[in-house]
Amino acid sequence: MTVVRDAGTAERWGMLADLLADGEVVVLSGAGLSTESGIPDYRGETGRRRRAEPMTYHTFVSSAAARRRYWARSHLGWRHIVDAAPNDGHRAVAELQRRGLVAGIITQNVDGLHQAAGADGVVELHGSLHRVRCLACGRRTPRRTLDRRLRAANPGWHARREVVNAVINPDGDAVLGADEVETFRTVDCEGCGGVLKPDVVFFGENVPPSRVEECYALTERAGLLLVLGSSLTVMSGYRFVRHAAARSIPVAIINQGPTRGDGEALMTFDAPLGPALTTLVRELA
């Protein structure tokens, strides 16, 4: 595969537009696509400024104190996620899908903004913050239901000034002091009394094999794998870039900053996602 990253910028954008126009595009999106909606990322500029450390699966399941800390932070921070609106990048992807050019969307994001922008059939590789799962019985319930229960268990807690002014980290968790955490009360599954966990894949937890196979199948049918806003640092998303490149399926990456997959890509672009995708859609029209 010939790498064209050294070609002129206008020429490269034109080549990408041509590939998009051919259709059968599979999008692989990451946190960088949602930063323009005000949701910070872990490895981009917003994440580096916060030095955010995500909750791990082992810590969550092995410590009641860790779960209380997680749910206190997430109970506040989830409002930041649920109030977020799709940005121009999400809308551009949805528009490309409506035109029949995008055959599939794989997202590493857990914010639901692709769907809010009108996209269909989105494969949520790492799950969604809009659902909650019981670790004992497997029952899934809407996050809004849990939010009402936590509000009832913690009357007035969210209105305290020091909580309201908390800094929001990636994945919708807020930075809180020990005092705020210690006064927070968690709730258990209404069905069996088991431990509740957001229906997302934590660090140290495996993506369900059936979901991975679905993403591999999408990748194999792609005419172009378009990576949007992902550093591809973790293998969870990077493996699909490797899978595409090994099968001579062209890979294009639009991201702010270098990525782990740059060596496998046919072309890379360092650009803000919203303006770049909006321009591409306009040119395709």
Binding residues for Zn(2+): 134, 137, 189, 192
Selected catalytic residue, list 126, 130, 158, 243? 126
Binding site, by residue number, is 108-111, 134, 137, 189, 192, 229-231, 255-257, 273
Binding site for NAD(+), by residue number, is 108-111, 229-231, 255-257, 273
Give 252's contacts (C-beta < 8 A, 6+ positions apart). 16, 19, 224, 225, 226, 227, 265, 266, 267, 268, 269
CA gap 49, 278 in Å, rounded = 27
121: left (phi over 0), alpha (psi -120 to 50) or beta: left
Give 51's contacts (C-beta < 8 A, 6+ positions apart). none
Q: How many CB atoms lie within 10 A of CB 202?
A: 19
Burial 258-270 (b: 16+ CB within 10 A, else e): ebbbbebbbbbbe
Give 210's contacts (C-beta < 8 A, 6+ positions apart). none
Answer yes or no: 126 catalytic. Answer: yes
Edge-to-edge order in the sheet of strand 127-134 = 140-142, 127-134, 196-200
CA gap 239, 83 in Å, rounded = 32
Could you give the C-alpha distances from 101 to 78, 83, 105, 253, 273, in angstroms and in order?
A: 33, 29, 11, 17, 18
Which residues participate in catalysis according to the annotation? 126
